[in-house]
Amino acid sequence: MKMFDKVAIVGTGLIGGSIALAIKKKNLCRQVIGISLHKKSLTLAKRIGAVDIGSLSLSAIKDADLVILAMPVSSIISLAPEISGLIKKNCLVFDVGSTKAKIVSKLSGLFPFFVGTHPLAGSEKRGIINACPDLFHNSLCIITPVNNTAAAAVAKVKKLWSFLGAKTIVMNPLQHDRILGFISHLPHVAAFSLMNSVPEEFLKFSPVSFKEATRVAASDSALWADIIIDNRENVLNAIKELQKNMNDIKSAIKKNNPAELARIFQKAKIRRGSLK
């Protein structure tokens, strides 16, 4: 079923490339146009059939009836004014940035039909080379409309994400950023910190548990610096909570009190057990 005629995806990395592959697989539009700063990414996107046309220039979005912004958070914000001057009237626009408050606040004023979204998929890997049409299968995609978001635009974006395999959930952008600060940005900060804490000569003994705990420390540094700076107040608040909880453990250890320590661990165990 064709939902769109031309879809333009700005940023053909892991997420943009996977959306392109999924749209192609589901036959949801006539043509996919990929825009990237990197010629190699476009060449590969064409070779694997993710896009029909690749362009190094933003102007290629001009005839699209859907534009998907799949760049790093700071590029979405910085390129939005230029993009808003290029798109055709009635063009639907959504982004896939990992933070929502600033993006939605800025882009809602620039585009008549803009919807903020955040697919909770992806990995520490990046680039079209790791793209996969099934990346969003059984994942959660958070949709963050605001008061002036057109209801028809929200409905269409939700429908598209459902076709891509994601379960959608609607949430306020501020609440999104508060939650993600805890469940995504904080674990990244913890993984980066853990990785930097261990003396290098000990790393060769790492058990599976350490590798798992630090997997996301292999994520792209600039991309994550960007996300965390964008959401800094929530992340600082989440770090404060983590430090408080770590200090409670430290204090029980210092008191040489295994029962108190076991109580703290048991609370964590019960919470962990509630995760599906």
Residues 209 and 228: their CA atoms lie apart, in Å, by 25
Q: Which is nearer to a copy of itself, 39 or 267 (CB)?
A: 267
Considering the complex, what minimum distance in angstroms separates the CB of residue 89 from a copy of itself?
35
H or E, element range at 167: strand 167-170
Q: Which is nearer to a copy of itself, 162 or 175 (CB)?
A: 175
Residues 241 and 230: their CA atoms lie apart, in Å, by 19
What are φ and ψ of residue 161, in 5° steps? -60, -35
Q: Taking CA 169 as the corner, what is the angle to CA 10 and CA 229, rounded to the nearest 5 degrees?
A: 55
Considering the complex, what minimum distance in angstroms separates the CB of residue 216 from a copy of itself?
5
Q: Which is nearer to a copy of itself, 37 or 169 (CB)?
A: 169
Sorted by sequence, the CB contacts under 8 Å of residue 64 that are 6+ apart come out as: 6, 7, 8, 33, 87, 88, 91
Q: Which is nearer to a copy of itself, 51 or 164 (CB)?
A: 164
Q: How many CA atoms lie within 13 A of 24 on its CB side?
A: 23
The single-letter DSSP state of residue 231 is T
Considering the complex, what minimum distance in angstroms separates the CB of residue 144 from a copy of itself?
13
Considering the complex, what minimum distance in angstroms separates the CB of residue 136 from a copy of itself?
12
What are φ and ψ of residue 13, in 5° steps? -90, -150
Q: Which is nearer to a copy of itself, 53 or 140 (CB)?
A: 140
Considering the complex, what minimum distance in angstroms separates the CB of residue 132 from a copy of itself?
14
Q: Is residue 116 within 8 Å of 96, Cβ to Cβ?
A: no
Alpha carbon of residue 255 to chain centroid:
42
Considering the complex, what minimum distance in angstroms separates the CB of residue 138 from a copy of itself?
11
Q: Which is nearer to a copy of itself, 108 or 184 (CB)?
A: 184
